[in-house]
């Protein structure tokens, strides 16, 4: 294990150290804290009003419904696999920040950390909590690591100074100050009643339905429980038994062992005309189309997670326009689901984890994005060219426009003529110490002023005598 | 409407620039030497222009700082130009025209000196669409009381650019107690 890895395996600065019980001998026991079975038989039709109970059921949804589990996995994997970068003009600091993120969650790694975090974000009304472990509890203390904290043991307080209380496995409660924790929530409640809506909440009716359908089909096929009651008159139980014995032998011969699924209740009157009643205990509705229900549910899952529907259901045998449809859906997906999480994540990491000199961002290298950008750039360049041709602007101004549009590099200009009036949400504003003062110099605008260098100062001193002579000459 | 002293300085600087640029074109100067010669010329003529604008006298420290920043801006442009010349496959006539434009850059320090470093928001040839071809001027009327002036932007040519036209519409620019209102 390298020194770096060893450093980040140390949980002594994290609140998670209170979850570990040291039994001596170098072995630690991690207590499993939970209530009820890990995998329930069935989900409740209505989620309970208590947030903690609601989240308990929502966390179980991936265990109950396989397609939802797969869709969730796709959403998590796509996001956890995103490339990211840290910009800084101080390489040592950016390297340290990179190591911090790569060894997140006690050294388990970035992908593991982000996968747990995103699963919590998607399956908890209370969202996901990230601990920013520091060397001491003091604000601004050196970073020691970042960790995912189980949402079930994090209680939001509503207090901006102490936003989270962590219930450790040692049975005690620990306060986490605002600089020690980041709390991410999907669709936050505007009334601050914790009625947030996570992806699992949004998809819950479909999860419930699909789980029930799949279970019905499974039980019907496997005969694991009765699904119908037939009341039959005019036939004796022994005749039924003989009939079933024959059928059973036949089925066993064909390899069908389970054929239950129907309960037969016979009447005693053997001389009565054979008749019967069928009472379905569980049944699919008339006109039920499994594929349609399947498609509806997958679309709902994709919507809830902000995925392109084709991510969860690839186009197979679909009609024309599939390629263009993919492109359109991809563009539309840019405004959905986990994109809000990404923006929030980048903001919070930059505000609370990264130092002033560093900027974290996700870097998407998508050829389609590059192509779209190149097309947009080409249009802009042609427009600027037309303006220059028509002498609406001069070439220098045209170059300035292209620099402002980030098509041409800034270095092409001697000095950027336009003041930057907007700042992107992933830009960090300069600190006061870093800012270059722009003042209105008496006698002129600031934008034509450079920043004097020593070489220039020396040059001016060397030429001052000749300047006096010249001025005297022209003034006569 | 360019004042005579300024015209004289521009003409002299233009001669210097065209001579050196011609030498560069013919291979008689390296790009670096050409750049240094022009840098010296710009430093000399910017200071001279300021002194001429204020009608003689000396260059005060605040004035020197303002002129230094103006010179620095021009040197930054010049360095860019030199890089392009260095990497150019062959000489183009437009390089001569581009070099000549630098002569007009001394209009700004001249007018800063001429307006005695009043806190005016802009100078002729500064930030205008017509660039160094600007022929506009400031007319300053001193009023009663300390630091009170009315300043008028006067267009010198009938074909003034939109920037200069807009500036003229802002007349008068009032300075009261040394501050622009």
A146 vs A144: CA distance, rounded Å: 7
CA distance A250 to A398: 87
| Residue B15 pLDDT level (bands cut at 50, 70, 90) | very high
Residues of B in contact with A387 (CB under 8 A): none
List C-alpha distances in Å: A120 to A130, A281, A386, A409: 11, 37, 53, 42
pLDDT band, very low/low/confident/very high, at A252 (cuts 50, 70, 90)? low
pTM for the complete prediction?
A: 0.51
Look up residue B144 and give its two tokens: 């009663």
Inform me whether the C-beta atom of residue A471 falls under 8 Å from chain B C-beta atoms. yes
Partner-chain contact A440 B119, CB within 8 Å: yes
Compute the distance between CA of residue A114 and CA of residue A81 in angstroms, rounded to an integer: 9
Band of residue A105 on the pLDDT scale cut at 50, 70, 90:
very high
* A60: helix, strand or coil: helix
Burial class of residue B164 (count of CB atoms within 10 Å of its CB; 0-12, 13-18, 19+)? buried
Contacts of B76 in chain A (CB under 8 A): 414-415, 450
Which stretch of DSSP H or E encloses residue B124?
none
The reported pLDDT for the residue numbered A25 is 46
Rounded CA gap, A357 and A350, in Å?
A: 10
* Contacting B residues, span 121-160, partner chain A, CB-CB under 8 Å: 121-123, 126-127, 129, 131
User: Residue B17 phi/psi, 5° resolution?
Assistant: -65, -45
Tell me the C-alpha distance between B66 and A409, whole Å.
Answer: 28
Quick one: residue B180, left, alpha or beta (phi over 0 = left, psi -120 to 50 = alpha)? beta
Q: Is the pLDDT of residue A84 over 70?
A: yes
Q: Return the percentage of chain A with pLDDT > 90, whole number.
A: 23
- Asked if the model's pLDDT at residue A195 lies above 70, the reply is yes
Tens digits of per-residue pLDDT, A4-41?
667 777 788 899 888 876 544 444 445 455 444 455 56
Contacts of B131 in chain A (CB under 8 A): 394, 396
**Which alpha helices (H) appear in A162-278, and where do they start and end?**
199-222, 237-254
Spatial separation of the C-alpha atoms in residues B38 and A286, rounded to whole Å: 91
pLDDT at A251: 53
Strand (E) or helix (H) holding A148: strand A143-149
Contact check, Cβ <8 Å, B43/A462: yes
Residue of B nearest to A395 (CA): B129
Q: What are the angstrom distances between the C-alpha of A68 and each of A138, A150, A324, A404?
A: 42, 21, 27, 45
Q: Which residues contact A324 (CB under 8 A, 6 or more apart)?
A: none
Contact (Cβ atoms closer than 8 angstroms) between residue B161 and residue B139: no
Chain B stretch 53-82, residues whose beta carbon is closer than 8 A to a beta carbon of chain A:
55-56, 59, 62, 64-77, 79-80
Interface of A with B in 412-431 (CB under 8 A): 412-415, 417
Please give the mean pLDDT across all residues of chain B. Answer: 88
Dist CA A304 CA A200 (whole Å): 7
ipTM of this complex: 0.90
The answer, yes or no, to whether residue A271 has pLDDT greater than 80, is no
**Subunit contact A443:B66, Cβ cutoff 8 A:** yes
Specify burial of residue A255 (Cβ count, 10 A radius: 0-12, 13-18, 19+). exposed
Best residue in A409, A411, A439, A444 for a mutation probing chain B (most B CBs within 10 Å): A444
């Amino acid at each position: 294990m390298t020194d770096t890895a060893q450093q980040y395996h140390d949980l002594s600065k994290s609140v998670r150290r209170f979850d570990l019980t040291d039994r001596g001998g170098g072995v630690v026991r991690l207590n499993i804290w939970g209530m009820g079975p890990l995998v329930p038989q069935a989900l409740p039709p209505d989620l309970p009003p208590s947030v903690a109970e609601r989240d308990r059921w929502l966390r179980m949804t991936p265990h109950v419904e396989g397609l939802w589990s797969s869709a969730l996995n796709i959403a998590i994997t796509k996001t956890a696999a995103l490339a990211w970068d840290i910009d800084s003009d101080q390489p040592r600091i950016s390297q340290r920040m990179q190591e911090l993120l790569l060894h997140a969650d006690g050294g388990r790694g970035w992908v593991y950390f982000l996968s747990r975090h995103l699963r919590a974000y998607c399956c908890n009304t209370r969202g996901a909590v990230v601990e920013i472990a520091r060397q001491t509890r003091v604000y601004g203390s050196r970073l020691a690591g970042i960790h995912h904290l189980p949402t079930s043991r994090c209680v939001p307080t509503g207090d901006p100074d102490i936003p989270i209380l962590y219930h450790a496995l040692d049975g005690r409660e620990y306060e986490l100050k605002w600089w020690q924790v980041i709390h991410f929530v999907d669709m936050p409640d505007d009334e601050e009643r914790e009625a947030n809506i996570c992806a699992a909440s949004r998809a819950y009716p479909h999860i419930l339905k699909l789980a029930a359908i799949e279970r019905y089909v499974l039980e019907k096929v496997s005969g694991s429980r009765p699904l119908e009651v037939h009341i039959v008159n005019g036939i004796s139980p022994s005749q039924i038994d003989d009939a079933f014995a024959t059928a059973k032998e036949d089925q066993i011969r064909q390899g069908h062992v389970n054929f239950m699924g129907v309960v037969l209740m016979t009447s005693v009157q053997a001389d009565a005309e054979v008749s019967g009643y069928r009472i379905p205990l569980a049944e699919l509705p008339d006109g039920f189309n499994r594929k349609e229900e399947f498609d509806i549910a997958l679309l709902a899952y994709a919507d809830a997670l902000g995925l392109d529907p084709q991510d969860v259901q690839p186009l197979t045998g679909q009609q024309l326009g599939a390629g263009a449809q993919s492109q359109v859906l991809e563009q539309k997906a840019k405004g959905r689901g986990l994109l809000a999480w990404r923006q929030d994540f980048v903001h919070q990491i930059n505000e609370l984890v990264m130092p002033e000199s560093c900027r974290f961002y996700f870097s998407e290298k998508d050829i389609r994005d590059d192509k779209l950008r190149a097309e947009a750039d080409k249009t802009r360049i042609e427009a600027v060219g037309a303006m220059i041709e028509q002498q609406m602007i001069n070439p220098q101004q045209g170059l300035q426009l292209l620099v402002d549009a980030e098509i041409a590099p800034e270095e092409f200009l001697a000095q950027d003529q336009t003041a930057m009036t907007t700042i992107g949400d992933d830009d960090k504003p300069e600190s006061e110490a870093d800012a270059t003062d722009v003042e209105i110099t008496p006698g002129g605008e600031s934008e034509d002023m450079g920043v004097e260098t020593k070489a220039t100062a020396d040059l001016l001193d060397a030429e001052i005598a000749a300047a006096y002579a010249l001025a005297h000459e022209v003034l006569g | 409407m360019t004042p005579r002293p300024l015209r004289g300085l521009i003409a002299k600087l233009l001669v210097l620039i065209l001579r050196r640029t011609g030498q560069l074109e013919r291979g008689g100067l390296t790009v670096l030497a050409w750049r240094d010669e022009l840098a010296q010329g710009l430093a000399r003529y910017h200071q001279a222009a300021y002194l001429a604008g204020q009608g003689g006298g000396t260059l005060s420290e605040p004035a020197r700082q303002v002129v230094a920043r103006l010179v620095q801006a021009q040197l930054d442009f010049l360095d860019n130009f030199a890089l392009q010349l260095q990497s150019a496959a062959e000489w183009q006539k437009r390089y001569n025209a581009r070099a000549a434009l630098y002569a007009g850059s001394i209009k700004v320090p001249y007018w800063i000196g001429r307006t005695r470093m009043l806190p005016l928001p802009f100078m002729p040839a500064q930030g205008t669409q017509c660039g160094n071809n600007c022929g506009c001027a400031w007319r300053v009327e001193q009023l009663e009381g300390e630091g009170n002036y009315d300043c008028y932007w006067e267009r010198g040519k009938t074909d003034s650019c939109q920037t200069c036209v807009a500036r003229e519409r802002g007349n008068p620019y009032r300075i009261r107690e040394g501050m622009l209102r």
